[in-house]
Structure 1
């Protein structure tokens, strides 16, 4: 995930930690007071700088629900989140899911973007290696998400798989509510062309993802 997203996770974690403490035998009034205090701490601790503005602290409905419930959401809420996310997916305008895997590899290895020192029109990276293993040659990679090595060999390169990978990158909550994976397309982190390149990285037989 990009730097701003890591910061958002830390912020959400701090708020959730306070809310969690509030949930252990405390009254609703005390819980509300702790929630207000957490929000005030966040407001005092951050300021606008460059393109990084404090409006990033505002949680949308999904973020708020996931901060409160985590992976312990009930089936009704899970289905509602996933259905809304599925409806939110913007499919490729020309119907083509695959781009250039070489460009996708550059994106996957780039963690740049959306920090106070970046320009608003500068392209963001996907920072995929920070959560996933991507290629055989990598010796340093994150394990928050599953390994993506040999993804195309394991899942094939059918239109159904291409559509799934596209949707997963665009808004992963469509398939797993409250996942740790960023909503790259829905939040405008990556554009349609970039997502197309990442789909190719995962599925193109010539990609290093699918190398022996």
Structure 2
């Protein structure tokens, strides 16, 4: 049984939380400074940008630009705090746009080494200010999913992936879907909480192959 402590998913979670807290404090201070108008004015996007730029500095892989510069999917999903309530029409548009950006392996080599995939799944480090630029990131898969029977420390935000390949098989459709889901989760579930591992360059293509093997290789502990 693995007993490794897992860090938070590599998505600048600490910076995001600090940003929200700072935004709340900013809105309160601004409200005190202005005459009462019946309701507190909303914090403008320009004010928020100025706040972030003045509060944080880029260090290592954690950059101010990474917080401020949202792509189209992030901008669309930011309109829906409850991601289970994204309108169907909007969700369909997001998924179609993201699916077009999935890059499949040109050599059709889908599976790597499941043993290396297990290491990636267990590793929760990466993309924090203390990490080396260009260093290997982890997938932190166990933070959200059950994957192997031996591991009893896992999250339940995402569905269980235990016996993933054994239950689904390894047809071309399953293999392509699995790759696409790891590469860009919002290609199949708009505004998903799962990181877009390939799209955002969190995991390398070799690491994704290894995680694919962990999920689909019959010899993998996932499928025992």
The partner residue of 2:9 within 2, 8, 28 is 2
Q: Aligned partners of 2:147 and 2:23: how far apart in 1? A: 31
The partner residue of 2:191 within 166, 178, 183 is 178
Match in the other structure for 2:54: 44
Q: Which 5+ residue runs of structure 1 have no aligned equivalent? A: 19-25
Q: Give the deviation of 1:97 after TM superposition.
A: 1.1
Q: Give the deviation of 1:192 after TM superposition.
A: 1.2
The partner residue of 1:53 within 44, 48, 63 is 63
Q: How does 1:1-212 map to 2 (within 5 A)?
A: 2-7=9-14, 10=17, 30-31=41-42, 33=43, 35-58=45-68, 59-70=70-81, 71=83, 72-211=85-224
Q: Which moved more, 1:202-211 or 1:58-67?
A: 58-67
The number of residues matched between the two structures is: 202
CA 1:34/1:119 → structure 2, altered by over 3 Å: closer, same or farther?
same
Q: Give the deviation of 1:199 after TM superposition.
A: 0.7
Q: Aligned partners of 2:173 and 2:193: how far apart in 1? A: 24
Q: Aligned partners of 2:23 and 2:189: how far apart in 1? A: 20
Does structure 2 retain, via aligned residues, the 8 Å contact 1:11–1:57?
Answer: no
List per-residue Cα deviations over 1:165-188 (Å, max 9, x = no partner): 000000011100000000000001
Q: Aligned partners of 1:60 and 1:5: how far apart in 2? A: 16
What TM-score does the superposition give when structure 2 sets the normalisation length? 0.80
CA 1:87/1:175 → structure 2, altered by over 3 Å: closer, same or farther?
same
